[in-house]
Amino acid sequence: MDRNLLLTLRYNGAYFHGSAVQKNAVTVCGTLQPALERIVGEKILIKCCSRTDAGVHAEMFCLSFHTKSSIEPQRLVLALNNSLPEALAAYACREVPPGFHARYSCLGKRYLYKIHNSPVKNPFLIDLCCHHRYPLDVERLNRACQDFLGRHDFSAFCASGSDVADRVRTITDCSLRREGELVSFEVAGDGFLYNMVRIMVGTLLKMSYGRIAPDAIPEILRARERKNAGPTAPAAGLYLKEVYYDLPDPEN
Amino acid sequence: MDRNLLLTLRYNGAYFHGSAVQKNAVTVCGTLQPALERIVGEKILIKCCSRTDAGVHAEMFCLSFHTKSSIEPQRLVLALNNSLPEALAAYACREVPPGFHARYSCLGKRYLYKIHNSPVKNPFLIDLCCHHRYPLDVERLNRACQDFLGRHDFSAFCASGSDVADRVRTITDCSLRREGELVSFEVAGDGFLYNMVRIMVGTLLKMSYGRIAPDAIPEILRARERKNAGPTAPAAGLYLKEVYYDLPDPEN
């Protein structure tokens, strides 16, 4: 009997050249696939919730695959963690309806961007945060974040060269918060363009220098020109935090 | 005019083969010394508060050196951080009396050992914690910690092969605490033998399996046999946290 399984992972992006399989690089799926195929005993086709770039982390990354294996989902998680490297961990596995697809069934995602805001770099945050040495007025920048909320064409916040046609996305939550030296940018929405979160952060950082006006975001969105937004912030601060699906409660 | 300077560092031990200079390995002092000599413009002799092994971290590591340079201590810190790698940061610098020696003037130290206590490894704690998958009864182990307090011969908690003659040390603080999945062992004392903290932790972990009795520490201390204590816990969990000196308050 063929089952469709949804697997949830967590990984440290510093150890991978992104999530998608590549011929000559260590990637998340390139590491996961052979381990998974050894356990289920057959070739499988993995569908991922999205792609992440080299250096980008995931607190939650989802993928689905069909398998003839009858392995119990909890056992699959244990077996995977016995063979995966420390930088990649399986957290949960459950059966989902046959038509479920980790990418096409996804209703939305939440990203977190971590900024270490301090004059001196912290040796224990290497690869885990973006370091920003100049003071950040978090309250003011958080007000600017509110301009991202709602349904907009995010062409200005998409890496040039991306060939996605529909660039309209809906942002449901967007905020900047400080906890000591850690400044966290969080954004949730129904979908994200290539480099969109990193360009949003780069825009806020440029705003903090006074080189983008505090009220400029609505106009940048309207003009749909990549060059009006800020630079792409480094990969190391970015975490895929949650992936949303409409699924019945798991049976156990 | 010759001045004696005390410099405080922080480093991520995963990036170094220990603190002491080695011919063919990247070490803390091997990285610091050329950077420091370029800034003060002369050869210097560095005295360190202690040695740390490969993989061991320092939230605070102190060293002193004499220099003819008139550079202002705060400028020295800035200049160092401009040339040091991200894994090694300078935090403070101050002038100290001519006879001060980072090792011989040291009154005591505090170490922290971080245990990530969870069935599944956390990809974001690689090299920063020791992972322990089985449940820890922190309250019971914390009671056992109290047996380390006071003045004892710690021969049983010293790496075999160490040629230190006097193995009597005084422990002034010793505890085990839990904060969610993080279990922290903290110990302060007037001095520590080679691998002493890691063997203390290894003994507590072996106690957690029931393979050392909960009240066995006094007898292990008395017998002074390394084989009676537990194994040496991994380097990755260990942090030198504080170094104590009797110094006048800094002038500024």
Read off the CATH number of the domain in which A237 is found.
3.30.70.660
**Does residue B82 belong to the interface with chain A, where contact is any CB pair within 8 Å?**
no
**What does DSSP say about strands A47-48 and A108-117: parallel, antiparallel, or unpaired?**
unpaired
The reported pLDDT for the residue numbered A251 is 62
Q: How far apart are CA B89 and CA B96, in angstroms?
A: 21
CATH no. for residue B22? 3.30.70.580
Same domain, A80 and A133: no
Q: Are A214 and A183 in contact (CB under 8 A)?
A: no
Backbone dihedral angles phi then psi of residue B165, each to the nearest 5 degrees: -80, -50
Same domain, A64 and A84: yes
**Tens digit of pLDDT for each residue in A110-125?**
999 999 999 999 999 9
Domain boundary among A42, A76, A105: A105
Instruction: Answer whether residue B115 shows pLDDT above 80.
Output: yes
Q: What is the mean pLDDT of chain A?
A: 96
Select from B88, B112, B121 the residue whose CB has the most chain A CBs within 10 Å, as the one to mutate to test that interface: B121
Same domain, A79 and A133: no
Q: How far apart are CA A216 and CA A228, in angstroms?
A: 9
**Residues paired with residue A88 on neighbouring β-strands, in sequence order:** A11
Terminal CA-CA length for chain A: 20
The reported pLDDT for the residue numbered B162 is 83
B190 within some domain: yes
Instruction: Answer whether residue A252 shows pLDDT above 70.
Output: no
- Looking at beta carbons, which residues of chain B come within 8 Å of A15? 123, 126
**How distant is the Cα of A21 from the closest Cα of chain B, in angstroms?**
20
Same domain, A97 and A116: no
Instruction: Answer whether residue B79 shows pLDDT above 90.
Output: yes
- Looking at beta carbons, which residues of chain B come within 8 Å of A121? 81, 86, 89
Select from A7, A31, A75, A124 the residue whose CB has the most chain B CBs within 10 Å, as the one to mutate to test that interface: A124
Instruction: Answer whether residue B252 shows pLDDT above 60.
Output: no
- Provide the pLDDT confidence category of residue A173 given band limits of 50, 70 and 90: very high
- Provide the pLDDT confidence category of residue A161 given band limits of 50, 70 and 90: confident
Q: Are B187 and B110 in contact (CB under 8 A)?
A: yes
Same domain, B116 and B232: yes
Backbone dihedral angles phi then psi of residue A42, each to the nearest 5 degrees: -160, 165
Domain boundary among B47, B78, B105: B105
**Tens digit of pLDDT for each residue in B4-36?**
999 999 999 999 999 999 989 999 999 999 999
Same domain, B54 and B122: no
The reported pLDDT for the residue numbered B248 is 84
Range of the domain at A224: 108-241
Q: How far apart are CA B220 and CA B60, in angstroms?
A: 31
Count how many residues are written for chain B: 252
A158 within some domain: yes
**Does residue A91 belong to the interface with chain B, where contact is any CB pair within 8 Å?**
yes
How many domains in chain B?
Answer: 2
B174 within some domain: yes
Cβ B122–A89 below 8 Å, yes or no? yes
Same domain, A133 and A88: no
Instruction: Answer whether residue A9 shows pLDDT above 80.
Output: yes
- Provide the pLDDT confidence category of residue B206 given band limits of 50, 70 and 90: very high
**Does residue A87 belong to the interface with chain B, where contact is any CB pair within 8 Å?**
yes
- Provide the pLDDT confidence category of residue B163 given band limits of 50, 70 and 90: confident
A127 within some domain: yes
DSSP 8-class letter at B248:
P
**What does DSSP say about strands A3-11 and A88-96: parallel, antiparallel, or unpaired?**
antiparallel
Q: Are A116 and A63 in contact (CB under 8 A)?
A: no
Nearest chain B alpha carbon to A9: B123
Q: How far apart are CA A133 and CA A131, in angstroms?
A: 6
Instruction: Answer whether residue A1 shows pLDDT above 80.
Output: no
A29 three-state secondary structure: helix
The reported pLDDT for the residue numbered B129 is 97
Token couple for B218? 């006094």
**Residue B113 in marked binding region:** no
B187 within some domain: yes
Q: How far is CA B185 from the centre of its chain?
A: 13
More reliable by pLDDT, B70 or A160: B70
Same domain, B130 and B186: yes
Nearest chain B alpha carbon to A128: B124
**Does residue B122 belong to the interface with chain A, where contact is any CB pair within 8 Å?**
yes
A252 within some domain: no
Domain boundary among B54, B70, B105: B105
Give me the DSSP letters along B3-51: EEEEEEEEE-GGGSS-SS--TTS--HHHHHHHHHHHHHTS----EES--
- Provide the pLDDT confidence category of residue A176 given band limits of 50, 70 and 90: very high
Using the structure block, give the residue that is written with the tokens 């990530």.
B116
Q: How far apart are CA A140 and CA A188, in angstroms?
A: 20
A249 within some domain: no
- Provide the pLDDT confidence category of residue B251 given band limits of 50, 70 and 90: low
Same domain, B219 and B178: yes
B248 within some domain: no
Same domain, A125 and A234: yes
- Looking at beta carbons, which residues of chain A come within 8 Å of B114? none
Q: Are B189 and B175 in contact (CB under 8 A)?
A: no
- Provide the pLDDT confidence category of residue A235 given band limits of 50, 70 and 90: very high
Percent of chain B residues topping a pLDDT of 90: 94
**Does residue B87 belong to the interface with chain A, where contact is any CB pair within 8 Å?**
yes
Percent of chain A residues topping a pLDDT of 90: 94
Terminal CA-CA length for chain B: 20
Amino acid at position A140, single letter: R
Instruction: Answer whether residue A18 shows pLDDT above 60.
Output: yes
- Looking at beta carbons, which residues of chain A come within 8 Å of B12? 123-124, 126
Beta-carbon contacts below 8 Å between A and B: 52
Same domain, A113 and A100: no
Same domain, B131 and B98: no
